[in-house]
Structure 1
């Protein structure tokens, strides 16, 4: 049985009635002289300091209340062309034109603009712009996918908008609409949330009205090249139909844009910026449909395009495996990682199907796709393991070293301080999934490998106090806790200054000390056992685990082959039964 709908216990503007001051401790915040309108029940409501009533009216897109409000507060809406400056006079925090545009409150925005442009001047302003406030109305409406508002503003050019106008960040209306990826995880300032469908509709509307498919975002901050084209913005989220439309209307697939290592959270850059095109961007955000579309419509041979390198010497497969959750928050939720991993593996599989020889390709830094995969967000989570397994199954060699002497087993644990902080989906109890370690050890990596700084993988993981299970695996595999790096540090030294990463603020001093002692004891006990047995290298325990792991992978491969054969047999039987195969 469905529950009855909840009844509102208060009218929309009940908090602004005359008696509301008494309910809030007797403080009368009403503006003097009074600015009023009426509630739905006819009661008089009063504006307060900082204009919260006007804010509420705009949020509700309530033209009835706004019309009455303006009768007693015409001064609240400055006359054009002083709208931007006038806003600062009354409240620097409340820009109600911007708020209305973000909310998609078309009725209220129309009324605000109409009121603000009323003038007795025989030569009124022909353009009302908000660039001095840091935005343009059409760009804001387009960014949030408000189709009807965009249409209204386009129909009122040049008074309120310009189809080709740029905001202070260098965006035009159409590039603003294409910048959906940067808003997809934000709390939308309107009911229902953001929608790629709405943004796509806005882009098509702008194209039909004359916007350019080869538009770019102008560089800022002293840069000489554009940080984005319309296409590089769209490939982050758009589907094949929109991308085909843009390409057919002139978007350049091969146009290079400038990207920042900090913006993409890449970890191995020596310079601050580098160049890349739309295919690289599509790979790094794991938009499989975009990758397919760009390769199909590139105008060149598929092998040639997947062998194209960026200014770092990286191939598209490097970008796909270096994939980051580029929402800027560093969050690593389970549902997002699960979705992202599925797309990453699809892209990797597609690129390797086109050319399997790229599996161990090295870029200018010596990194292979496996190196990048072991540095991706979520890499220590069980949900991420299919990426590493796919790369290794397709020939990935985890013994290859980069220019710093690091194997993928080193980079699995090493941090340079630039990646988002979450490596697992459980922020409160992050424990590494050891299958990643076993996968790398089974495909060439060795726990005793030393990089150019003299560090073994154990040096890096010993610092992470909640990864004691990983320490045990490495010790079982022959890692030496007493081996010193170039700074004369052992893994035990690293453990002594270990930390809980993102959990440090929730951990007491006693808990940290206990974890440090546990980590150091594991190393000490293991070292004593090795000395007594006279054994170095892989322990019996690890040898058994490794053999089991290799056997398990072999069984999985056999099962895959058997499934394929079963499917083929069923297909043949079905064909015979349908009479399509002659005896």
Structure 2
């Protein structure tokens, strides 16, 4: 790694785009010594070429490559090339220049990301077009099994997706290493326009499941995107009571993430049973909300008719779940909702789980010994 005042000055000039000053600093009769020519900056080991590409200084790129002879394929410690930098920051002129100078269009950085994948994290369609027109392969996948279509779906760029479908019609038909589709990802991240496009243009199966059994509808619900959940119901025949690998419904997953609006939608509009149980564990949504300490969600569930006395497969109520999670506020609500007068075996087991002082205080307030 380069050290000293001169290398730091060179780096600052490159980052700020001061080409004339950089030329003065590196006089025509002066040659960079080997340390400066291959100088590495910061923990990632970036070169001056990386910084010029990252900041979008085409003129400095030209100077570094054509006058100082720096290699367009130089890579840092993460194997990131200048082309990755320019593509990820949306600098079309720098991308085009590097490609014209022979930069490998599908070079891989750490985790097998290509410049095209990096470009798809932004809306700059011109950069994406430049890469594709120079031969970038839209079907390549990174180590997680994501191709560029999957990445654009996460970012919410319908115009990028439309272009990718035009140049690579099969790019939609992809799954990650854990069997998640672009539809899963768009639903999870609340990209309504993208979900709408995917349902119109692509042939995803209704309620397709990832390795954990999660459907796009579940992703939408557990992240609070009710508008997307409605869209999946109307245009993709999603099932609001489908279960994941553990037997949990969207209702249970919404309780874990405290998505009260989604819970209201499921129960009041779709008629989902508020006391539905997870197949494997016999837990209710109230158990999950209590364990996580989601006070408002507990109140929402109780208002919708959740059974405060419901037991799981090990004869534990939501109060047990709250106590096991040391959730004092949740325990207080449940005790006030009717568990104070629960049978002795219920109260005894719950009291055995109490450890935190504020939770002990809750039981004392209710005149329950711990």
Which TM-score tier does this pair reach, normalised by the shorter chain?
A: 0.7 to 0.9
Instruction: Tell me, yes or no, if structure 1 residue 284 matches structure 2 residue 154.
Output: yes
Question: Residues 478 and 150 (structure 1 numbering): CA distance in 2 closer, same or farther, change over 3 Å?
Answer: same
| Structure showing the higher helix proportion among its residues | 2
Instruction: Tell me, yes or no, if structure 1 residue 102 matches structure 2 residue 11.
Output: no
Instruction: Tell me, yes or no, if structure 1 residue 309 matches structure 2 residue 149.
Output: no
1:389 to 226, 230, 234: 230
CA contact (8 A) 2:40 2:47 kept: yes
Instruction: Tell me, yes or no, if structure 1 residue 322 matches structure 2 residue 175.
Output: no
Instruction: Tell me, yes or no, if structure 1 residue 200 matches structure 2 residue 85.
Output: no
- Structure 1 counterpart SS, 2:149: helix
Deviations 1:342-390 (CA, angstroms, capped at 9, x unpaired): xx111111111235763322233221101222344xx3xxxx4322332
1:471 to 285, 298, 322: 298
Provide structure 2 residue ranges, at least 5 long, that are not aligned to the other structure: 343-370
CA contact (8 A) 1:131 1:168 kept: no
Distance, in Å, in 2 between the alignment partners of 1:148 and 1:163 is: 14
2:334 to 500, 520, 524: 520
Instruction: Tell me, yes or no, if structure 1 residue 358 matches structure 2 residue 205.
Output: yes
Question: Residues 209 and 450 (structure 1 numbering): CA distance in 2 closer, same or farther, change over 3 Å?
Answer: same
Q: Within 5 Å, which residues of 2 pair with 1:421-570?
A: 434-441=260-267, 442-443=269-270, 445-451=272-278, 452-465=280-293, 467-486=294-313, 488-496=315-323, 515-516=329-330, 518-521=332-335, 523-524=337-338
Instruction: Tell me, yes or no, if structure 1 residue 373 matches structure 2 residue 213.
Output: no
Question: Residues 367 and 126 (structure 1 numbering): CA distance in 2 closer, same or farther, change over 3 Å?
Answer: closer
Instruction: Tell me, yes or no, if structure 1 residue 298 matches structure 2 residue 153.
Output: no
Structure 2 equivalent of residue 410 of structure 1: 252
* TM-score in terms of structure 1 length: 0.52
**Shift of residue 233, structure 1, vs aligned partner:** 0.8
- Structure 1 counterpart SS, 2:200: helix
Distance, in Å, in 2 between the alignment partners of 1:495 and 1:461 is: 8
Question: Residues 105 and 489 (structure 1 numbering): CA distance in 2 closer, same or farther, change over 3 Å?
Answer: farther
**Shift of residue 117, structure 1, vs aligned partner:** 5.0
Q: Judge which range, 365-374 or 483-492, deviates more.
A: 483-492
Structure 2 equivalent of residue 136 of structure 1: 47
How many aligned positions are there? Answer: 337
**Shift of residue 101, structure 1, vs aligned partner:** 3.1
- Structure 2 counterpart SS, 1:238: coil
**Shift of residue 399, structure 1, vs aligned partner:** 0.3
Provide structure 1 residue ranges, at least 5 long, that are not aligned to the other structure: 1-83, 181-195, 220-225, 260-274, 324-340, 416-431, 500-511, 529-583
Structure 1 equivalent of residue 128 of structure 2: 243
CA contact (8 A) 2:183 2:198 kept: yes
Instruction: Tell me, yes or no, if structure 1 residue 209 matches structure 2 residue 101.
Output: yes
Q: CA RMSD in A?
A: 3.3
In our comparison, the structure showing a higher alpha carbon Rg is 1
Deviations 1:463-484 (CA, angstroms, capped at 9, x unpaired): 454x433223322333222223
CA contact (8 A) 1:475 1:526 kept: no
Question: Residues 135 and 245 (structure 1 numbering): CA distance in 2 closer, same or farther, change over 3 Å?
Answer: closer
Instruction: Tell me, yes or no, if structure 1 residue 399 matches structure 2 residue 241.
Output: yes
Question: Residues 230 and 392 (structure 1 numbering): CA distance in 2 closer, same or farther, change over 3 Å?
Answer: same
- Structure 2 counterpart SS, 1:165: coil
Question: Residues 213 and 238 (structure 1 numbering): CA distance in 2 closer, same or farther, change over 3 Å?
Answer: farther
- Structure 1 counterpart SS, 2:143: strand
**Shift of residue 251, structure 1, vs aligned partner:** 0.5
CA contact (8 A) 1:397 1:444 kept: no
1:230 to 115, 118, 138: 115
Question: Residues 126 and 460 (structure 1 numbering): CA distance in 2 closer, same or farther, change over 3 Å?
Answer: closer
* TM-score in terms of structure 2 length: 0.78
